[in-house]
Amino acid sequence: MTAKTFPAATILGYPRIGPNRELKKALEAHWSGRLDEDGLLFEARKVQDRTVRRLVQLGLDAADSSIPADFALYDQVLDTTAALGALPSRFADLADSDGGVGTAASFVLARGDGERPPLELTKWFDTNYHYLVPEIGPETCFAAVAHQLAGIVRRQKDRGAVLRPVLVGPVTYLLLAKAEDGAPAGFDPLTRIDDAVAAYVGILGQLAEAGAEWVQLDEPGLSTDAGAALAAPGGLVEQVYRKLAEAPVAAPGRHANGRPALLVTTGYGTAGDPARAGEALAVLAAVGVEAVHADLVRGSLPSAEALRALGGTRFVAGIVDGRNVWRNNLLSSLDVLEDLQAQSGAAVSVGTSTSLLHVPHDVAAESVLPAHLPAWLSFADQKVREAAVLARGLAEGRSSIAAELQNAEAALRSRAKYDGVVSPAVRQRTAALGEADFTRGPAERRAELQQARLGLPVLPTTTIGSFPQTGEVRRARAAAQKGSITEAEYEQFLKEEIARVVALQEELGLDVLVHGEPERNDMVQYFAENFDGFAATGNGWVQSYGSRCTRPSILWGDVSRPAAFTVPWTRYAQSLTRRPLKGMLTGPVTILAWSFVRDDQPLAETANQVALALRDEIADLEAAGTGIVQVDEPALRELLPLRAADQAAYLDWSVRAFRLATSGASDATQIHTHLCYSEFGEVIAAIAALDADVTSIEAARSRLEVVADLAGFGFRRGIGPGVYDIHSPRVPSREEIAGLIETALAAIPVRQLWINPDCGLKTRGYEETAASLRNVVAAAKAARETLAVRA
Ligand code: MET
Ligand SMILES: [Zn+2]
């Protein structure tokens, strides 16, 4: 039996949180006990139904499998774990009688249950989305228990929609997994592939039975070095998909003993060997996969040879960018699509490069964007339309979409010549940069000058910047925004807040103080609001993990800083204390990583513009008397390219941008940086190359693992490995912190060591923060005394 034809237009996935974060709110109500499970599932079904309706309005067909059933409540990797019943042994008790994992059980995996920490959260490829890491051991059960996904398919079918269920594919699933605790040393989850594949075969049968005609298996793992190696002809990917494709395709309408047709997607780069683009797709086609997808935005076009090798397999061209917000250049996309079709002779469908999970819902829901921006933008809903329009143009000829082509062209043209997209003053500055602009004086000399100026004790104590953002702070900000308090009243409120935070730090006995960042809603958006070339959205929420969402700003033009904006707060805070107080900035790489960035010039160029804007702010901070400036780069590791071959170039421009931002500072000004959210062991050389005088780095949860890497590298500058894990309300005891300081001192020379928390305190409450910092300071003092006795 042959498969039903794949639809001409599709998307790989759609934002799951709801246009007004309905799912987020329902989840949080459920977790706090205000909404029971039935209530939550009712809300989730409302979001699903709305998504299907909306996608039909936007041009997808409800009945032809063009709409993905991609409705994870928390995370799609977690849902695949649930469909496989692949519970780690430490959670084995959560299994239903048939090995299934219900909604409540899946939330225990996601959030822990008091005694057991949750599954680890890690970044999904090179994005700011986080997935829950499967824990696989030699004994992990794999079963076909896709009840929830099958239930969604069945329910939608009853409502007249034939959806295409989505799972993480088996190779990517195991590549993303880690060995569970207690597995033999060196255990590789991929060794369980046969058992996993057997379960996937069963799941495919269950989904066919529920009425699915197509299933989407996502294999973005093939775009990493590890996955690419498996995608060569004769490799693991070929074996796996031969097995999955072996069963006959079920006849539409009669689903006994068959499987749905398979779409295998890639995404986040080129699947397989980049020098042989498309080969991995040909491998999949050869074993009988009915449709394959490639990311044509981040990845390369498949070669003509690979396209011809697709034979009768559908090619889904991921030409609408799933990761950025710019309107598609329909004309050039159509050129590419027509070319692909002509070359391959194969049937081409139009799709997105990745799921639309990474972009907000709808440009039309924006009310605060500057007037020129909306026409240039495309959020998820606009992208669905773009895919549908391109598919029509491909099938019926350019004249059938003449109006759409013309509108897109007009928008692109207006964008290209809009005032501020290119700012001659900014261009002149970047063009005139020379090596001296990236270099400070010798580090040893800087250290002497700074110590003479600051007079700090050994093991200086400090915090990372933010203090608790209480309900009061958030309410005052909202009131100021609404206009229900005056600007002067808001400023007065912030000053009082800063004064309290400074007084608290003095009372605690910290050595280097901060102002606490109460004026900042978000460490990137705050800069976007104060830089030219940047705009903040009103409702542009994007899922970061589970119910957590962020609202990236849009960097649309040349960036510059019209006026000093952090200076008044820092100056005010410093006026309240004789101790040194750090000025606090977000670094250029992090600003880019957590924004939607213009796509019309290299990132390195944009990074330098942001760096110059920060450099201006640092100059003004210095002029106001600030002796220490911290430039946070928590996202330095996040943008690291997936392929080793691309990493050196990235590290080069990102390090240079940081240096451009900071190297205007006088040698007597101490530059700090702060890193968190990732393991930084593999980029230590780049961290050293930042040439910051002091680096604070998240370390408490790994019990200071990074210290060994730093020592091994011979890191020479100031270093503050976090000794207080700020991710939970738990107060670390003085003894515990003392133990971590001992560990650090065993590897790091005492004159280099700083004592600080892992990250900012903004999500914490005051009580636990004060108690914890008291212990931090006490442990540091005790360590100083011990050192003095030993000396
Ligand atoms: C995610 S890193 C946060 C650094 C920032 N200065 C803060 O303390 O909040
Ligand atoms: Zn941090």
Ligand with minimal distance to 587 CA: 1
Ligand 2 center to residue 674 CA distance, Å?
A: 6
- At residue 450, does pLDDT exceed 90? yes
Tokens 């005694």: give the residue: 115
Q: What is the pLDDT of residues 735-784, one digit of tens each?
A: 999 999 999 999 999 999 999 999 999 999 999 999 999 999 999 999 99
CB of 465 shorter than 6 A to ligand 1: yes
Q: Is residue 12, in this structure, part of any structural domain at all?
A: no
Looking at ligand 1, which atom is closest to the CA of residue 466? 8
Ligand with minimal distance to 632 CA: 1
Q: Is residue 425, in this structure, part of any structural domain at all?
A: no
Ligand 1 center to residue 760 CA distance, Å?
A: 4
Predicted confidence band of residue 680 (pLDDT cuts 50, 70, 90): confident
CA-based torsion, 581, 583, 584, 588: positive or negative: negative
Predicted confidence band of residue 705 (pLDDT cuts 50, 70, 90): confident
How many angstroms separate the CA atoms of 671 and 660, rounded?
12
- Residue 114: is it exposed, middle or buried by C-beta count within 10 angstroms (0-12/13-18/19+)? exposed
Q: What pLDDT, on the 0 to 100 scale, is given for residue 791?
A: 74
**Shared-domain flag, residues 280 and 330:** yes
**Shared-domain flag, residues 338 and 470:** no
Ligand 2 center to residue 753 CA distance, Å?
A: 18
Q: What pLDDT, on the 0 to 100 scale, is given for residue 29?
A: 98
CB 214 within 8 Å of CB 164: yes
The length of the chain is 791
Ligand 1 center to residue 636 CA distance, Å?
A: 13
CB of 460 shorter than 6 A to ligand 1: no
The secondary structure element, H or E, covering residue 218 is: strand 214-218
**Shared-domain flag, residues 378 and 458:** no
Q: What is the DSSP letter of 7?
A: P
**Shared-domain flag, residues 364 and 453:** no
Q: How far apart are the first and last CA of the chain?
A: 83
Beta pairing partners, 585: 631
Q: Tokens standing for 577?
A: 């204390």
**Shared-domain flag, residues 358 and 473:** no
Ligand 2 center to residue 750 CA distance, Å?
A: 23
**Shared-domain flag, residues 446 and 410:** no
CB of 523 shorter than 6 A to ligand 1: yes
**Shared-domain flag, residues 784 and 658:** yes
Q: How many domains does the chain have?
A: 2
Q: How many CB atoms lie within 10 A of CB 554?
A: 25
Q: What is the CATH number of the domain that holds 173?
A: 3.20.20.210
CB of 351 shorter than 6 A to ligand 1: no
Closest CA to 422 of 558, 600, 326: 558
Q: Tokens standing for 416?
A: 């290209």
Q: What is the pLDDT of residues 19-44, one digit of tens each?
A: 999 999 999 999 999 999 999 999 99
How many angstroms separate the CA atoms of 429 and 74, rounded?
45
Q: Whose CA is nearest to atom 9 of ligand 1?
A: 760
Looking at ligand 1, which atom is closest to the CA of residue 762? 9
How many angstroms separate the CA atoms of 723 and 736, rounded?
9
CA-based torsion, 330, 336, 342, 347: positive or negative: negative
CB of 593 shorter than 6 A to ligand 1: no
Write the Ramachandran bin of 41: left for phi over 0, alpha for psi from -120 to 50, otherwise beta: alpha
Q: What is the pLDDT of residues 188-244, one digit of tens each?
A: 999 999 999 999 999 999 999 999 999 999 999 999 999 999 999 999 999 999 999
Looking at ligand 1, which atom is closest to the CA of residue 630? 6
Q: What pLDDT, on the 0 to 100 scale, is given for residue 4?
A: 81
- Spell out the alpha helix ranges (H) of 290-379: 304-309, 330-344
Domain boundary, last residue among 400, 417, 434: 417
DSSP string, 675-708: E-SS--GGGHHHHHHT--SEEEE--TTTTTHHHH
Q: Which amino acids are annotated catalytic?
A: 727
**Shared-domain flag, residues 390 and 453:** no
Predicted confidence band of residue 163 (pLDDT cuts 50, 70, 90): very high
Q: Whose CA is nearest to atom 8 of ligand 1?
A: 760
Q: What pLDDT, on the 0 to 100 scale, is given for residue 420?
A: 97
Query: Can you tell me the mean pLDDT for 352-380?
Result: 97
Q: What is the pLDDT of residues 129-152, one digit of tens each?
A: 999 999 999 999 999 999 999 999
CA-based torsion, 24, 26, 28, 31: positive or negative: negative
Q: For the chain, what percent of residues have pLDDT higher than 70?
A: 99
Tokens 């997936």: give the residue: 642
Q: What is the pLDDT of residues 58-69, one digit of tens each?
A: 999 999 999 999
- At residue 1, does pLDDT exceed 60? no
Counting ligand 1 atoms within 8 A of each CB, the residue from 462, 463, 464, 522 with the most, and so the one to mutate, is 464
Task: Count Cβ neighbours within 10 Å for each residue of 240-266 and write b for 16 or more, e otherwise.
Answer: bbbbbbebebbebeebeebbbbbbbbb
Ligand 2 center to residue 521 CA distance, Å?
A: 15
Ligand with minimal distance to 520 CA: 1
DSSP string, 122-142: EE-TTSS-EEEPPEE-TT---
Task: Count Cβ neighbours within 10 Å for each residue of 218-235 and write b for 16 or more, e otherwise.
Answer: bbbbbbbeebbebbbeeb
Q: What pLDDT, on the 0 to 100 scale, is given for residue 256?
A: 58
Distances (CA, A) of 45 to 27, 105, 265: 13, 19, 26
Ligand with minimal distance to 466 CA: 1
Q: Whose CA is nearest to atom 6 of ligand 1?
A: 465
How many angstroms separate the CA atoms of 516 and 502, rounded?
8
**Shared-domain flag, residues 412 and 456:** no
Q: How far is CA 143 from the centre of its chain?
A: 30
- Residues contacting 603, CB < 8 A, separation 6+: 592, 597, 653
Ligand 1 center to residue 761 CA distance, Å?
A: 8
How many angstroms separate the CA atoms of 532 and 707, rounded?
39
State which residues form the domain around 283.
22-417
Tokens 């229900």: give the residue: 484
Q: What pLDDT, on the 0 to 100 scale, is given for residue 564?
A: 98
Q: What pLDDT, on the 0 to 100 scale, is given for residue 345?
A: 75
Q: Tokens standing for 639?
A: 């943008």
Q: Is residue 8, in this structure, part of any structural domain at all?
A: no
**Shared-domain flag, residues 645 and 781:** yes
Looking at ligand 1, which atom is closest to the CA of residue 463? 8
CA-based torsion, 599, 600, 605, 606: positive or negative: negative
Which has the higher per-residue pLDDT, 114 or 527?
527
CB of 698 shorter than 6 A to ligand 1: no
Beta pairing partners, 68: 164
Q: Is residue 520, in this structure, part of any structural domain at all?
A: yes
User: Pairing relation of β-strands 595-597 and 553-560?
Assistant: parallel
- At residue 575, does pLDDT exceed 90? yes
Q: Whose CA is nearest to atom 7 of ligand 1?
A: 760
Q: Is residue 632, in this structure, part of any structural domain at all?
A: yes
For the ranges 154-158, 341-345, 774-778, the lowest mean pLDDT is seen at: 341-345
- At residue 272, does pLDDT exceed 70? yes
How many angstroms separate the CA atoms of 327 and 389, rounded?
13
Closest CA to 228 of 174, 265, 276: 276
For the ranges 170-184, 253-267, 398-412, 708-722, the lowest mean pLDDT is seen at: 253-267
Closest CA to 166 of 26, 321, 25, 16: 16
DSSP string, 392-431: HHHHH-GGGGHHHHHHHHHHHHHHHHSBTTB-HHHHHHHH
Q: What pLDDT, on the 0 to 100 scale, is given for residue 252?
A: 58
Task: Please give the single-letter amino acid code of residue 12.
Answer: L
Ligand 1 center to residue 644 CA distance, Å?
A: 28
Q: Is residue 85, in this structure, part of any structural domain at all?
A: yes
How many angstroms separate the CA atoms of 260 and 689, rounded?
52
Q: Is residue 432, in this structure, part of any structural domain at all?
A: no
**Shared-domain flag, residues 350 and 387:** yes
Q: What is the pLDDT of residues 506-523, one digit of tens each?
A: 999 999 999 999 999 999
Domain boundary, last residue among 417, 450, 476: 417
pTM for the model stands at 0.95
Query: Can you tell me the mean pLDDT for 273-279?
Result: 96
Counting ligand 1 atoms within 8 A of each CB, the residue from 523, 527, 544, 589 with the most, and so the one to mutate, is 523
Helices 705-713 and 734-747, axial angle in degrees (round to 10): 20
Q: What is the pLDDT of residues 281-320, one digit of tens each?
A: 999 999 999 999 999 999 999 999 999 999 889 999 999 9
Q: What pLDDT, on the 0 to 100 scale, is given for residue 679?
A: 80
CB of 632 shorter than 6 A to ligand 1: yes
Counting ligand 1 atoms within 8 A of each CB, the residue from 581, 632, 764 with the most, and so the one to mutate, is 632
CB of 583 shorter than 6 A to ligand 1: no
Beta strands in 68-141 (DSSP E): 68-69, 121-123, 130-132, 135-136
Domain boundary, last residue among 402, 417, 432: 417
**Shared-domain flag, residues 677 and 632:** yes
Ligand with minimal distance to 590 CA: 1
Q: What is the mean pLDDT of the chain?
A: 96
Q: Is residue 87, in this structure, part of any structural domain at all?
A: yes
Q: Whose CA is nearest to atom 1 of ligand 1?
A: 634
- At residue 701, does pLDDT exceed 90? no
